[in-house]
Structure 1
Amino acid sequence: MYSSSSKSLWCFAGIFLVFLSSFNAFSQDRIAFGISGMYNFPLNSLGFGLRAQVPIAPRWYVVPQLKYAPAFNTIHEFYGGINVHFLLIEGNQRFGGFKRGGEPEKPTVYLAAGAEYNRWINYVETRQANSKQNNILPEVGIGAAIGNYPVRLFAEVKYNILWQESYGEVGLLFCPAYIKKNKNTRCPNF
């Protein structure tokens, strides 16, 4: 009834939701959710993604992610993984969407490191011996974000260490707790 790639996608979406629901009350009102578009530079492929951003300590965040590169790309693939972000520079926090006084806009800058499970859906053997239909890919990168508590724009560049390729991602983060409650909610600032 369902193809194996469709089953894999639903399985990882379920794991993602279980992962998110396992956090304690400490982070519950601080979790941000995001959508993104990605571009793999060496492959010239496009995709989209979903993520959550969960603070675990001052300046530290855990970021579970799902990404999908549709079949119109040369390589049709799915990713599910987790990154840890560390804030290098904490940017302006805009309350209610407005800058304070004449203060210039300052973005948040962070380092990212993690690993992703990769399912190459239309797998074919290549000259790259370390690529298979199912892969675990370590990655490192840097990102920046700007905006206010309810909505922030982010951009990241990451490097896949195993396959030695880079990709960029641009997206929006939404903090539902800030929208529901009041301005005193402490959503992540990037």
Structure 2
Amino acid sequence: MKFYIRIILKLLLVTTILNQFDKIQAQTWGIGASAIYNLQTESFGGGLRVEFPMGNFSIAPQVAYYPAFNKINEYYLGLSLHQNLFHIRSWTFYLLLHGGYNGWINYTISHMENAKYSNWDFEGGLGVKTNRCFRPFLEYRYNLKWKETNLQLGFMYFFNCKNNKRHFGGGGRRTRSGSCNAYD
């Protein structure tokens, strides 16, 4: 019975998320990558993500991998929710919540009593990104389960986003405003 309840809950979650896709504007979905550093384990990893902005809110499915040369060899599959807080010029500051599955590959070397291969985790944090089509970002995250902090530095590229070029008279000077339509 528990199995069927979990399946129903997962289907409801997926249906709710898919119902929100009608709010997504075609020019505002992006794909990106990040370098990750875990401060407690002193581990380096890499991540990939897709982001679907919906006004001041975004959904971002993500994967991350910490290779075997680190103390901790693991991967994450998860979903982040980003809530834009405020804008300063072409930068947006946002709050993030992330839930995900963690596959801890070398858990047997750990002295922790709750160490196991399959884990669920929850992270909260803050991020900053640009509002342009090519968006560098920096995120600070805190993992509530493992009590760890990690930093992610990466970029997103948003397809069909147009950086507006504005021309000004007088000597052929021109500048680029470059704001993405989703935030104009």
- Which interval holds the TM-score relative to the shorter structure? 0.7 to 0.9
More strand by share: 2
Letter in 1 for 2:156: L
Match of 2:113 in 1: 129
Q: Alignment length, in residue pairs?
A: 155
Distance 1:179 1:134 in 2: 42
Match of 2:78 in 1: 81
Distance 1:172 1:178 in 2: 15
TM-score (norm 2): 0.73
Instruction: Note the 1:175-186 alignment, pairs <5 A.
Output: 175-178=158-161, 186=181
SS, match of residue 124 in structure 1? helix
Match of 1:70 in 2: 67
Q: Is the 8 A contact 2:24 2:53 kept in 1?
A: no
Q: Is the 8 A contact 1:149 1:188 kept in 2?
A: no
Letter in 1 for 2:38: N
Measured at CA, do residues 88 and 121 of structure 1 come closer, stay the same or move farther in structure 2, by a change above 3 Å? same
Residue 91 of structure 1: how far off its partner (Å)? 3.5
Task: Give yes or no for the alignment of 1:34 onto 2:32.
Answer: yes
Measured at CA, do residues 72 and 179 of structure 1 come closer, stay the same or move farther in structure 2, by a change above 3 Å? farther
Instruction: Note the 1:1-190 alignment, pairs <5 A.
Output: 23-24=21-22, 26-56=24-54, 58-93=55-90, 107-124=91-108, 126-146=110-130, 148-178=131-161, 186-187=181-182
Rg bigger for which structure?
2
State the superposition RMSD in angstroms: 2.8
Structure 1 moving runs of 4+ over 6 Å: 182-185
Distance 1:30 1:135 in 2: 32
Structure 1 runs not aligned, ≥5 long: 1-18, 94-106
Structure 2 runs not aligned, ≥5 long: 1-16, 166-177
TM-score (norm 1): 0.71
Q: Is the 8 A contact 1:160 1:166 kept in 2?
A: yes
Sequence identity of aligned pairs in percent? 32
